[in-house]
């Protein structure tokens, strides 16, 4: 469920007509619903009620500070994958004790940043990383709390570019080697082993891959405890999918996910961490764009929008589907027709949808890309010297620009021309 609904034939974000925001800030832009963000966070928090747990929002999904602060005020922790994300979380008011540092390529500088600023744990991905972290911690007179990310070799049955739990993926340590790796971690002076980390992929629509992975984690927990390791925290990653309009898939609800965690891991007495990103942010955001031209081609018609692949790259990168709807609700029974929906960037890949059935649209009409809150704004760029589009947040009857569109002068003046030119 989200809070982008038609009222009297006009698309609203909570209590604000979306067209009113478009008139104020111009198109294209991203728009987030506070009520949806809050609802989705609470679904996860309530799903783990009764377990010692922390819901750490995966910032890579959408990292505007307004989003982070909205979630932090509800008690969320943060899962970060770079020094920049760590600093962004701190700037949004998240204490270091609620920040988990993930990612396969942490640098010594990033480790030092987090150790000095405060950190809940590092999720370690390799033995060389483990040794560097120990050395950094010893140099600073600190002890770094760690989990080791294990790769359980479980097929998440998701898109190849967002699967992370198979043996051929770059993530984590093979679970078959975990006990020797943990023995090595326990011997390093700058580390404190506190738990296990696992994450098998994104946009999962079935609980069975999770269940397979968590059973392996359960067995590993028992084995490591028998060897003297104090395994008291299990970081289970994220990955629960969201429903997209083009399929009949109905991903499991957070409540079912929480029940499965209890079944497979509740007997261990561990603190549970989960790191949802897409399911919290995805349906909490839309991208709004305007039709520039309706173009007739050879055997097909095109809707040319002012939004482009640099603004929303997911269709070009992942063949991702976004439901695209007009801001003015079409009349009941209106005949639809197929359009290729494209942007103005000089790439054939700048295509959002092919032969998408839509009501007749004209130049100047506004459309909304649903389920665009995750991996939309954070993956955008200034390709073709197109300004990064604004981000806007709605809260009831109010809205605010939470990232402004830069001017062309601001963009161009970032360049520095060397003296010899």
Angle at 37 between CA 369 and CA 78, to 5 degrees: 115
| Sign, CA torsion 239/245/248/254 | positive
8 A C-beta contact, residue 44 and residue 278: no
User: Would you call 272 helix, strand, or coil by DSSP?
Assistant: strand
Report CA Rg, the chain. Answer: 23
Beta-strand relationship, 16-17 and 351-358: unpaired
The DSSP result for 28-91, as a single string, is SEEEEEHHHHHHHHHHHHHHTTTS-EEEEEEGGG---HHHHHHHHTTT-EEEESSHHHHHHHHH
In 198-336, DSSP assigns E strands to 233-235, 271-274, 285-296, 301-305, 324-326
Beta-strand relationship, 285-296 and 366-369: antiparallel
User: Would you call 178 helix, strand, or coil by DSSP?
Assistant: helix
Catalytic residue among 332, 346, 417, 421: 346
346 is catalytic: yes
Instruction: List, by residue number, the catalytic residues.
Output: 346
């Amino acid at each position: 469920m989200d809070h982008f609904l038609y009222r009297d034939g006009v698309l609203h974000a909570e209590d604000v007509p979306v067209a009113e925001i478009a008139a104020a800030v111009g198109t294209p832009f991203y728009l987030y619903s506070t009520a949806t963000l809050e609802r989705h966070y609470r679904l996860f928090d309530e799903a783990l009620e009764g377990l010692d747990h922390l819901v750490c929002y995966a910032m890579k999904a959408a990292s505007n500070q307004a989003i982070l602060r909205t979630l932090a005020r509800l008690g969320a922790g943060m899962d970060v994958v770079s020094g920049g994300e760590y600093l962004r979380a701190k700037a949004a008011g998240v204490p270091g004790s609620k920040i988990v540092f993930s990612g396969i390529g942490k640098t010594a500088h990033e480790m030092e940043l987090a150790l000095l600023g405060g950190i809940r744990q590092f999720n370690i991905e390799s033995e060389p990383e483990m040794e560097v972290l120990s050395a950094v911690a010893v140099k600073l007179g600190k002890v770094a709390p760690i989990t080791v990310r294990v790769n359980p070799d479980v097929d998440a049955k998701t898109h190849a570019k967002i699967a992370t739990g198979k043996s051929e993926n770059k993530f984590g340590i093979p679970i078959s080697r975990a006990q020797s790796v943990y023995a090595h971690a326990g011997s390093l002076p700058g580390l404190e082993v506190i738990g296990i980390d696992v994450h098998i992929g994104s946009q999962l629509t079935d609980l069975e891959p999770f269940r397979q992975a968590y059973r392996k984690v359960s067995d590993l927990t028992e084995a490591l405890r028998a060897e003297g390791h104090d395994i008291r925290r299990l970081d289970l990653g994220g990955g629960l999918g969201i429903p997209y309009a083009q399929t009949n898939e109905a991903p499991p609800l957070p409540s079912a996910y929480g029940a499965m965690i209890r079944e497979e891991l509740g007997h261990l007495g561990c603190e549970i961490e989960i790191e949802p990103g897409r399911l919290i942010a995805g349906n909490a955001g839309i991208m709004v764009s305007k039709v520039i031209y309706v173009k007739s081609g050879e055997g097909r018609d095109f809707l040319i929008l002012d939004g482009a692949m640099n603004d929303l790259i997911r269709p070009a990168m992942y063949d991702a589907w976004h439901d695209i709807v007009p801001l003015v609700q079409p009349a009941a029974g209106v005949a639809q027709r197929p359009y290729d929906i494209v942007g103005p960037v000089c790439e054939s890949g700048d295509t959002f949808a092919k032969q998408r059935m839509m009501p007749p649209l004209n130049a100047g009409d506004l459309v909304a890309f649903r389920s665009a809150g995750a991996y939309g704004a954070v993956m955008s760029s200034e390709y073709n010297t197109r300004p990064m589009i604004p981000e806007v947040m709605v809260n009831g009857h109010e809205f605010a620009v939470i990232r402004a569109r830069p001017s062309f002068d601001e963009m161009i003046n970032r360049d520095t021309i060397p003296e010899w030119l």
